Amino acid sequence: MTSSLRVLGIDPGLTRCGVGIVDVDRSRRGTLVHVGVIRSAPDAEIGDRLAIVAAGIRSVIAEHRPDAVAVERVFAQQNTHTVMGTAQASGVALLIASEHGLPAATHTPSEVKAAVTGYGSADKRQVQAMIARILRLDVPPQPADAADALAIALCHAWRRGGAAPSGANAPTPAQRAWAEAEKRVGRTYLRATP
């Protein structure tokens, strides 16, 4: 068994959904595994945009096999349209984690900022700079959504103690329900194609 925890952090959004994976060992040392942004066109239909986000997250999980998923918790802001899209993308991320039998958690922006910078009101540039320093990167991850995803992953790993998960991955109730739905209506209707 490995002595590190691999966490997929997700900064949910429809236009840009940040995804970042880190391995964190028992001494809390983080190593970059993957970072990227899933993009969808702002003028596309909402269902198509959510399908793009879902396909991107599924692809990252299939390729990198994280042990856990952490998603930034959505907070009400001035722009309710943006909040709705972010909340929808967050729901998709949590559903996909459950489909894959992965433990998932949400963390507030201030929790994440405090974890990586020591200051809950840090700005985007401060978060990017600290992520580069923590993960020993030559340059801060771009765009900010990518750095935020890595910060969410680190926050989650550090709160969990950086230890590897134990036990077998038995199917969750959501995975069983999904498998039953696939049998009933057919896989092609349920799986989003990129």
Annotated binding site for Mg(2+): 11, 72, 145
| Binding residue ranges | 11, 72, 145
Does the annotation count 145 as an active-site position? yes
The 8 Å CB, 24+ separation contacts for 171-176 are 171/101, 172/98, 172/99, 172/101, 174/95, 174/98, 174/99, 175/98, 175/99, 175/100, 175/101
Count the residues in the chain.
194
At 141 the three-state DSSP class reads coil
Q: Quick one: angle between helices 144-160 and 124-134, nearest 10?
A: 60
Q: Is 72 a catalytic residue?
A: yes
Of the residues 23, 67, 72, 99, only one is catalytic, namely 72
Q: Considering the candidates 23, 67, 99, 145, report the single residue annotated as catalytic.
A: 145
User: Which of 11, 23, 67, 99 is the catalytic position?
Assistant: 11
The single-letter code of the amino acid at 62 is A
Which among 30, 61, 33 has a CA at the least distance from the CA of 158? 30
Residues known to be catalytic: 11, 72, 145
